[in-house]
């Protein structure tokens, strides 16, 4: 779908020119501006206020050296980033990704998506993202600790409980958040909610660990429900085997589905009896091993090298929960041939534009990442609220709030799509609903 609106078309060209060599950022901006065409047509006031111009430009980008010493005494230098994209609705909020593929374009695409996602949660949080090209894989706990301490030593100058509140993402879980929180507390002599995803003894919220995966399933269950369907009795394929994938698998199973495949960056396992989540958790959360090892405990399961083959496993519901652009056009066609009815994105931007086109053309229920995976950051915002109040809410209370948030995000998106003449298009609906709240706020602030 090419942009026809002359103003948006020109803006997109300028974004590409101004941010060369950043294809993921171009992809994320293109999708949002395409969705916003009917808004631009109706709302000249937002164009005049400079909102479209401003929203594609980060408020601030911080880029820094992260030196640390490995177990052999060698000095290693990584690169750290924090993109503070938009603070119209509240403190910058978004995860930190530690993965060798991280560079400015990845952090910008994630930070840009985060603006609209965070708006959809209904909480007061702006959009940001950060990370490093550090690879935690194969590193000792001490190496990870030294890296995290060095990373936070620099990052601490720019973040704060009312300024910018990072959290986890790929390669950043409870262990890394602990090392970074400890270092921040030491440097600043302040015990404050500067990070979310903390341990339960030191300010973390119940349900934050489960929130992204559970939230994804709550959104998809609502999307299925309005068509008279549900997860019950469905076969589900989930890519990844990290935080999002594990808890998506757990909730899909609670809801009566059978999850038959999960993956990591090396390959995927297919278990016709249904994936045993205790084994996956033990392998991934405790032993930090490869998914390949799953078959040692479950001889009926089959391991296949190469992660992209997972989409050839027949299923009715596909939940991509690993990384960006992991599900392409041909994979979408294969899923379709094998009886697909719905796709819910747990990862950020996991489907390529070609894949989304295949799903939408064939009336597959397609839940886009910035709506479907918003439960993680949504519960992060509730962690911030609990920290401000020095309160601790029960699992049941937070889980109920998560459910309500995800159902509300689904309906907000569906309603915005209808209002702008794009009924059934949950991608456009999420982009429009997420955008409008930020845009009206930016307009109210004037040119700042």
Q: Candidates 239-247, 390-398, 407-415, 417-425 — which segment interacts with ligand NDP by CB under 6 A?
A: 239-247
For residues 443 and 445, what is the distance between their CA atoms, to the nearest angstrom? 5
Q: Is 93 in the site for ligand 2IT (CB under 6 A)?
A: yes
| Cβ nearer to ligand 2IT, comparing 276 with 325 | 325
> Which member of 94, 111, 203, 346 binds ligand NDP (CB under 6 A)?
346
> Which member of 86, 212, 250, 279 binds ligand NDP (CB under 6 A)?
212
Smallest gap from Cβ 383 to ligand 2IT, in A, equals 8
Smallest gap from Cβ 46 to ligand 2IT, in A, equals 25
Q: Which residues pair with 327 in a beta bridge?
A: 351
Q: In the window 193-212, what residues touch ligand 2IT (CB under 6 A)?
A: 196
Smallest gap from Cβ 170 to ligand NDP, in A, equals 4
Q: In the window 360-379, what residues touch ligand 2IT (CB under 6 A)?
A: 376-377
Please tell me which residue in 93, 108, 129, 412 is annotated as part of the active site.
Answer: 129
Smallest gap from Cβ 365 to ligand 2IT, in A, equals 21
Distance of CA 414 to the CA centre of its chain: 20
Q: In the window 117-156, what residues touch ligand 2IT (CB under 6 A)?
A: 117
For residues 171 and 168, what is the distance between their CA atoms, to the nearest angstrom? 8
Q: Is 95 in the site for ligand 2IT (CB under 6 A)?
A: yes
Separation of first and last alpha carbons in the chain: 32
Q: Candidates 82-90, 154-162, 250-258, 317-325 — which segment interacts with ligand NDP by CB under 6 A?
A: 317-325
Instruction: Give the DSSP letter string of 3-38.
Output: ---HHHHHHHHHHHHHSTT-HHHHHHHHHHHHHTHH
**Cβ-proximal residues to 251 (8 Å cutoff; 6+ apart), any chain:** 210, 213, 214, 216, 217, 218
The entry of ligand 2IT, ligand NDP, none near residue 3 (CB within 5 to 8 angstroms by kind) is none
The conformational region for residue 137 under phi > 0 = left, psi -120 to 50 = alpha, else beta, is: beta
For residue 437, what are the CA distances in angstroms to 11, 38, 255, 382?
21, 16, 32, 19
Q: Is 129 a catalytic residue?
A: yes
Q: How many residues does the chain have?
A: 448
**Cβ-proximal residues to 24 (8 Å cutoff; 6+ apart), any chain:** 105, 106, 108, 109, 324, 325, 349
Q: In the window 277-316, what residues touch ligand NDP (CB under 6 A)?
A: 307
| Cβ nearer to ligand NDP, comparing 272 with 306 | 306
Smallest gap from Cβ 327 to ligand 2IT, in A, equals 17
Which residue has its beta carbon closest to ligand 2IT? 95
Helix then strand count (H, E) for the chain reads: 18, 12
Q: Candidates 56-64, 250-258, 310-318, 344-352 — which segment interacts with ligand NDP by CB under 6 A?
A: 344-352
Task: Dig out the tokens for 162 from the structure.
Answer: 């009312």
Task: Dig out the tokens for 408 from the structure.
Answer: 């509300």
> In 3D, which of 427, 303, 375 has the Cα closest to residue 34?
427
E strands, 297-349, are 302-305, 317-320, 342-344
Q: Is 91 in the site for ligand NDP (CB under 6 A)?
A: no
> Which member of 84, 243, 250, 351 binds ligand NDP (CB under 6 A)?
243
Q: In the window 170-199, what residues touch ligand NDP (CB under 6 A)?
A: 170-171, 173
Give the residues lining the site for ligand NDP (CB under 6 A). 168-171, 173, 212, 240-245, 264-266, 307, 321-323, 346-348, 373, 376
Residues in the site for ligand 2IT, rule: CB under 6 A? 93-95, 117, 167, 169, 196, 348, 376-377, 380
């Amino acid at each position: 779908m090419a942009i026809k609106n002359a103003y948006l078309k020109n803006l997109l060209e300028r974004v590409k020119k101004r941010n060369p060599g950043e294809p993921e950022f171009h992809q994320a901006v293109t999708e949002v501006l395409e969705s916003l065409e009917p808004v631009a047509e109706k709302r000249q006031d937002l164009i005049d206020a400079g909102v479209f111009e401003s929203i594609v430009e980060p408020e601030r980008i911080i880029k820094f050296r992260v030196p640390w010493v490995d177990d052999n005494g060698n000095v290693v230098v990584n690169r750290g980033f924090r993109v503070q994209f938009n603070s119209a609705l509240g403190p910058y909020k978004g995860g930190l990704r530690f993965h060798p593929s991280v560079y400015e374009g990845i952090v910008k695409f994630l930070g840009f998506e985060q603006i609209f996602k965070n708006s959809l949660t209904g909480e007061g949080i702006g959009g940001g993202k950060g990370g490093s090209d550090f690879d935690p894989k194969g590193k000792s706990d001490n190496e990870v600790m030294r890296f995290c301490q060095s990373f936070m030593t620099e990052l601490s100058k720019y973040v704060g409980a009312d300024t910018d509140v990072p959290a986890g993402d790929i390669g950043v879980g409870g262990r890394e958040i602990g090392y970074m929180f400890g270092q921040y507390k030491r440097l600043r002599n302040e015990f404050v909610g500067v990070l979310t995803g903390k341990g339960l003894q030191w300010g973390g919220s119940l349900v934050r660990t489960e929130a992204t995966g559970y939230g994804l399933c709550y959104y998809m269950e609502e999307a299925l429900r309005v068509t008279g369907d549900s997860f019950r009795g469905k076969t589900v394929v989930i890519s990844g085997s990290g935080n999002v994938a594990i808890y998506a698998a757990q909730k899909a199973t609670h809801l009566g589905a059978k999850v038959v495949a999960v993956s990591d960056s090396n390959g995927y396992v297919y278990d016709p009896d249904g994936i045993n989540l205790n084994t996956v958790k033990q392998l991934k959360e405790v032993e930090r091993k490869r998914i390949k090892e799953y078959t040692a405990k479950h001889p009926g399961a089959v391991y296949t090298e190469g992660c992209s083959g997972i989409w050839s496993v027949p299923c009715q519901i596909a939940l991509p929960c690993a990384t960006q652009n992991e599900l392409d056009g041909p994979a979408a066609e294969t899923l379709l041939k094998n009886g697909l009815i719905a796709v819910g994105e747990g990862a950020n931007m996991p489907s390529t534009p070609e894949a989304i086109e295949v799903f939408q053309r064939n009336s597959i229920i397609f839940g886009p990442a910035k709506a479907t995976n918003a439960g993680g950051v949504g519960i992060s915002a509730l962690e911030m609220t609990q920290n401000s109040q020095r309160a601790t809410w029960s699992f049941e209370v937070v889980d109920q709030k998560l459910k309500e948030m995800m159902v509300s995000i689904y309906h907000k998106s569906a309603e915005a799509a209808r209002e702008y003449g794009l009924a059934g298009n949950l991608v456009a609906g999420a982009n429009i609903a997420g955008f409008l709240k930020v845009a009206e706020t930016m307009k109210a602030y004037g040119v700042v």
